[in-house]
Structure 1
Amino acid sequence: MKRSLLLAALVPLAIAAIALPAWTVLTYEAPRPSPLVKRDLGEAYRPGKIAAKPTAAQIRGWQKLADSSCKCARRGGKSDECWAEYDRETAAYAKSDAATMCMPVSHVFDNFGEDKMVEIDRDHAGQLLCAAEERRAMEAAWNVEMARPHGETDAEVQRAFDRAGAAMDRVYRRILHGESLAGVRGPAGCSG
């Protein structure tokens, strides 16, 4: 009697131990791509890619091209059209995606290996930042506001975040109007 009772208790546990992992594997869905990524960056290592690494001069040229592609998209151009020349120039080279996890401005790069990277995505809450100077100015505006004394309650911290966001919005308006960012100074962060 005890043996059959023990079996009756263990059989459902054994079935669950087998069924749950199998169900998890069979129902797995791959993560969806981020809505911020506007271009297909896949197939970076497909056969036929050039194994050689690009030169420093190529990386500098590609960064200028990426900056102008970003500015085209910021002016309202179609992303695929704006980035077509950059994509053509870099298509033969093996590359992978790289990114920073910085606050308030993160960066996405095409990584061609050995610290040879071109920054390709600078979308901060819908604001396209297309040059190092722009990224540094946005980050400085944020850092200056967040360095100001503020309390520790949720409401006080939220007000500090709101002020920092408003400061970034003011800098972005200057960027959109082509104004100089020379006067925007503050503590450095990921953008240098």
Structure 2
Amino acid sequence: MTVPSGIVTCLPAADIDDLVGVVEVLVQEQLPVFAAPVDSLRELGQVFGPRAVFGAWQVADREGLEAAHGAGAEFVLADVVDRELAWYADSEGLTVFGSATTHLEVRAVLELGLTGALLWPADIVGHVMAGHLARVGLAERVIPMGGVGAFAAGEWMKHGSPAACVDATLLGDAVDGGDLGQLRDRCASFRKAAQRAVEHRGSVAAASS
């Protein structure tokens, strides 16, 4: 399994025929990392193969984590974290981000031995939280999710987050038959935000070396 990077598009529960066209557009627009409900993972992986990376989200317990693992998830975004889920993740070497909201909850998730914390809902705490987490050395282990727009995604990644999860802010009504041309336009904003974050971190690293 792998730690997701850049923009991670969280796909809704939907018929596979409604998802394929949307995923194809995002892959073409160089946004190839997705989190999907476990029930969709296997089919999406079969359709897109190595062209895309698929993780699971909306995983609520150890059984869900086992199902995601069996379906080929490259990473897992867990809604609930407990010791049983954390034990299974560690024993199988799985990349799992567990849900948290405050910096204390982030620390608690990390103390369980998970890969990192899924800061949710990110729109409640705002992207300013990224700077606070960076100050205490936690941002590199945190991925935000929930109401994250292009600007906020870039700010999180500028401060060290490996990725940012986006959903309706990018997808809009595309899964429900909306205009895929408009989806392509939105892709450009998110892609540019991610690129600016990478460039910013590169310049900071160069200045400190």
TM tier relative to shorter chain: under 0.3
Per residue, is there more helix in 1 or in 2? 2
Higher alpha-carbon Rg: 1
Tell me: higher relative CO, structure 1 or 2? Use CA pairs within 8 A at least 6 residues apart: 2
TM-score, normalised with respect to structure 2: 0.23
Per residue, is there more strand in 1 or in 2? 2
TM-score, normalised with respect to structure 1: 0.25
